[in-house]
Amino acid sequence: MSADVLYSIRNLTVEYNTRAGPVRAVDDVSLDIQRGEILGLVGESGCGKSTLGKALMRLHDELACLTMGELRFDGRDLMKLPLSDMPKIRGAEIGMVFQDPMTSLNPVQRILDHLTETIRTHEPKSSLAAARARAEELVERLGIRRERLKEYPHQMSGGMRQRVMISLALALRAKLVIADEPTTSLDVIVEAKFLDLLRELQKEFGLTILLITHNIGVVAEVADRVAVMYAAKMAEVGTAREVFADPKHPYTQGLLKSVPNIELDGGDLYKMAGEPPSLLHPPAGCRFHPRCPFVMDICSREEPAFEPVAGGHLASCWLYRKAGVINAPGKQEARNG
């Protein structure tokens, strides 16, 4: 493992207990997040990307949800920490920006109180005035006038609230910011500004950002590396250039072809065959095989390992393996860089 890996996820499995039975929303996923990068995590709705994001902070209710695997963040395995120690890490070291800025702020608390509370939760010794000064400095950096700190969340626009959410993550200089579909509810202009801001902040503060989104365009715009998830599994990981220029996994190829393009003539937009599988009864072997245009015999029988296909470019697909060479399940490993 190289030294610049900030968060190393190994064999992460998140299982929800539902009435219909256990559902693995994240199944045996391994991923490295490198220090200082923007990693885009893309996939269809329901493929487990938000669950993965939450699991990184152990935000899941332990009663309803079983989390297994290794979450090595900055040298510590978070899974081995008692849950009561997690609040010290949340906010201070890992921040999170949620999908809907309209509902992710407490409606009865002023913006200033959100910020000062965050600061003082983690630094009980800092005075209210100091926390206030820091909050003002921070929001001005993010382009919100300091007078507006006195306002309540409903008095702000969506873009502003999303910037407030970011400032909450930045207030304590979090090393990693998990942005869970941060621009989904913003219009394109605000979205573009927000993405620019993310880029700037990442450079200025040396932030590491995990950008969870279903919007391929957003990922292409800002991400350094891209991870593609399909049906609770990791399908492909590589640099943005590699993945967009030369997608290896048939799912990624289909995904990129499905993006509407103005240069495309006459409405023959590519539609992937079939539907994403139910995670309650996932298909045997490769989970994409029922929809895959290159399906082979082995695909329905054995699960492909998540292994490098070229350099740091990883994919889990039999197309790039010698048929018959089967890796035993559980030995899958991600090697980045």
CB of 57 to another protein, least distance (A): 6
Instruction: Choose between 108 and 325: whose C-beta lies nearer to another protein.
Output: 108
Nearer to another protein by C-beta: 56 or 226?
56
Whether 221 and 38 have beta carbons less than 8 Å apart is answered as no
Q: Could you tell me the smallest distance in angstroms from the CB atom of residue 334 to another protein?
A: 25
Measured from the CB of residue 193, what is the shortest distance to another protein in angstroms?
20
**74 or 117: whose CB is closer to another protein?**
117
CB of residue 187 vs another protein: minimum separation in angstroms?
14
Q: How far is the CB of 208 from another protein (least distance, A)?
A: 16
By C-beta, is 90 or 257 nearer to another protein? 90
β-bridge pairing 233-239 and 313-315: antiparallel
Residue with token string 């599988």: 277
Query: Least distance from C-beta 58 to another protein, angstroms?
Result: 10
Binding site for another protein (CB under 8 A): 54, 57, 59, 63, 87-92, 94-96, 98-100, 103-109, 113, 117-118, 121-122, 155, 165, 168-169
Least distance between another protein and beta carbon 283 (Å): 32
Of residues 160 and 299, the one with the C-beta less far from another protein: 160
The two tokens of residue 243 are 């993945």
Q: Which is nearer to another protein, 49 or 321 (CB)?
A: 49
Distance between CA 99 and CA 118 in Å, rounded? Answer: 20
Measure CA 272 to chain center.
23
Residue 233: strand pairing partners: 230
Residue 16 in tokens: 């929800």
CA angle (163, 165, 168) in 5-degree steps? 110
- Of 174 and 309, which has the nearer Cβ to another protein? 174
Q: Which two tokens stand for residue 284?
A: 């045997």
Residue 263's alpha-carbon distances to 40, 60, 266, 270, in angstroms, are: 25, 43, 10, 13
Token look-up 């039999």 returns 318
* Residue closer to another protein (CB basis): 116 or 336: 116
For 295, residues 6+ apart whose C-beta sits below 8 A from its C-beta are 289
Question: Whole-number minimum distance, CB 210 to another protein, in Å?
Answer: 13
